[in-house]
């Protein structure tokens, strides 16, 4: 064999060896997702029409939960113009095979307790608390309970959260900004209730949400300032204390830079490593109609550090919502009528945004995700509204972001 063929065979052999080496390296890294677009399901239409622009109102209420026993079971509730307003999926959102009509109002809030009961608090007429139970595989509502005389008033808002057998409903009177924010508590999965008890009395307008902090239910309140220097809008947390059988206030509050009602858009959750996360909408300094999403995080009783800007936009209605999965944090929001996702972890901070709904003519509004994902969840359920043409009619759509190739909780 002459030197030319020897050199050719040597090149082939080197190429094959390198190919084997590359193949082994690829197999070792197959679980690493380097695609900027997360693996996801196809879009599923839950409700083709009959929703309105506020059906999935957040800021900061949650309307979708996953089962802690089987994360493929998902419950969704919303305001509806066409009757059907409660939906259930048993296959991770591929199909929505159960529905009901309860007359929900857009300020509806839902939560899941440790025994997989799903709790609903509704405002308006009728204003009711309901509990959905899973008995022998069948779904049924318990009889409605009127929690508060406020629930007869369509200007009164509630919020609900649950952990273990503990369920707490928060109420405020929107007709009287200086009426106390109150709560009702059940320690037996909603079978019986005690209350009302006062938490604090606002000086001006407030907006209430809730979160689980270190295994205890906490109230999160956006409070209006006077608009003068030194008295900004704030966000403050009050956590239930079993030792005192009442709520205790956090040591400090988040100051919102600009005095604007749009800052009522906020969301709160806690990751497994103990970090309490809050995101909110604030004005861009010096730009009256430009807005930004800001983020701050800390552990209970620590001081809030300086916030960071997560996303800036010319759009007012961004509606950010947070979800925690282990030590990972997810945020969904609307920008220019499209749905976006961002992910955070302690080591890397915020990753770049990921466009989830990219159709050029999409007109999306309000996006919902669960406040917490079960540890063994394999997907992040996302639900959003989409305007139908130029009408006042909206569809409700679903997409699952698969977590199998993402960070492990």
Largest Cα span, the chain? 99
Containing domain of residue 137, as a range? Answer: 43-402
DSSP string, 107-159: T-EEEE-TT--EEEE--SSS--EEEEEEETTEEEEPPPB---GGGGSTTEEEE
- Whether 277 and 299 have beta carbons less than 8 Å apart is answered as no
Model pTM?
A: 0.86
CATH of the domain at 290: 2.120.10.70
Query: How many domains does the chain fold into?
Result: 1
Task: Give, for 5, the enclosing helix (H) or strand (E).
Answer: helix 3-28
> What's the confidence (pLDDT) of residue 25?
28
| Averaged pLDDT for residues 227-253 | 90
**Per-residue pLDDT tens for 40-84?**
888 999 999 999 999 999 888 999 999 988 999 999 999 998 878
Asked if residue 14 belongs to a domain, the reply is no
> Most confidently modeled of 124-138, 191-205, 212-226?
212-226
Q: Predicted confidence band at 138 (pLDDT cuts at 50, 70, 90)?
A: low
> What's the confidence (pLDDT) of residue 360?
61
* Tokens (6 digits) for 10: 């040597």
Q: Predicted confidence band at 217 (pLDDT cuts at 50, 70, 90)?
A: very high
Asked if residue 134 belongs to a domain, the reply is yes
Please return the burial class of 340, using the count of CB atoms within 10 Å of its CB with bins 0-12, 13-18 and 19+: buried
Asked if residue 18 belongs to a domain, the reply is no
Asked if residue 32 belongs to a domain, the reply is no
Asked if residue 201 belongs to a domain, the reply is yes
Asked if residue 28 belongs to a domain, the reply is no
Asked if residue 37 belongs to a domain, the reply is no
What SS3 class is residue 33?
coil
Look at the block and give the residue holding tokens 């094959």: 16
Asked if residue 12 belongs to a domain, the reply is no
**Per-residue pLDDT tens for 139-176?**
677 777 776 654 455 556 789 999 999 999 998 887 77
CA angle 82, 124, 223 (to 5 degrees): 120
**Per-residue pLDDT tens for 315-366?**
667 899 999 999 999 999 988 888 999 999 888 899 888 888 766 667 899 9
Task: Give, for 27, the enclosing helix (H) or strand (E).
Answer: helix 3-28
């Amino acid at each position: 064999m002459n030197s030319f063929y020897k050199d050719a065979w040597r090149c082939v052999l080197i190429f094959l060896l390198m190919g084997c080496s590359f193949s082994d390296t690829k197999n070792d890294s197959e679980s690493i997702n380097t695609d900027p677009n997360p693996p996801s399901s196809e879009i599923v239409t839950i409700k083709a029409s009959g929703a309105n622009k506020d059906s999935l109102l957040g800021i900061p209420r949650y309307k979708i939960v996953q089962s802690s026993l089987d994360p493929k079971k998902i419950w969704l509730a919303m305001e509806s113009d066409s009757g059907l307003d409660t939906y259930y999926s048993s296959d991770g959102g591929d199909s929505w095979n159960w529905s009901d009509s309860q007359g929900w109002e857009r300020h509806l809030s839902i939560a899941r307790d440790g025994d997989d009961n799903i709790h609903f608090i509704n405002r308006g007429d009728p204003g009711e608390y309901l509990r959905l139970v899973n008995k022998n595989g069948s779904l049924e509502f318990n009889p409605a309970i009127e929690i508060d005389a406020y629930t007869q008033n369509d200007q009164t808002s509630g919020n609900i959260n649950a952990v273990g057998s503990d369920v707490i409903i928060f109420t405020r009177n929107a007709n009287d900004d200086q009426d106390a924010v109150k709560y009702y508590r059940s320690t037996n999965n909603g079978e019986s209730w005690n209350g009302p008890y006062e938490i604090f009395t606002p000086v001006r307008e407030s907006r209430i949400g809730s979160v689980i902090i270190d295994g205890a239910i906490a109230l999160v309140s956006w409070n209006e300032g006077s608009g003068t220097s030194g008295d900004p809008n704030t966000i403050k947390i009050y956590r239930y204390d079993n030792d005192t059988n009442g709520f205790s206030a956090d040591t400090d509050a988040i100051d919102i830079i600009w005095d604007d009602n749009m800052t009522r858009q906020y969301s709160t959750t806690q990751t497994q490593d103990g970090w309490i996360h809050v995101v909110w909408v604030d004005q861009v300094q010096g730009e009256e109609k430009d807005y930004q999403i800001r983020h701050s995080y800390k552990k209970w009783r620590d001081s809030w550090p300086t916030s960071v800007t997560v996303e800036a936009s010319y759009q007012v209605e961004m509606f950010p919502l947070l979800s925690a999965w282990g030590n990972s944090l997810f945020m969904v929001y609307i920008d220019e009528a499209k749905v976006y996702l961002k992910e955070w972890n302690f080591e890397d901070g915020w990753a770049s945004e990921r466009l989830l709904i990219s159709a050029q003519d999409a007109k999306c509004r309000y996006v919902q995700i669960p406040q917490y994902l079960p540890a063994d969840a394999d997907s992040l359920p996302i639900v959003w509204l989409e305007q139908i043409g130029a009408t006042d009619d909206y569809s409700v759509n679903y997409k699952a972001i698969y977590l199998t190739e993402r960070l492990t909780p």
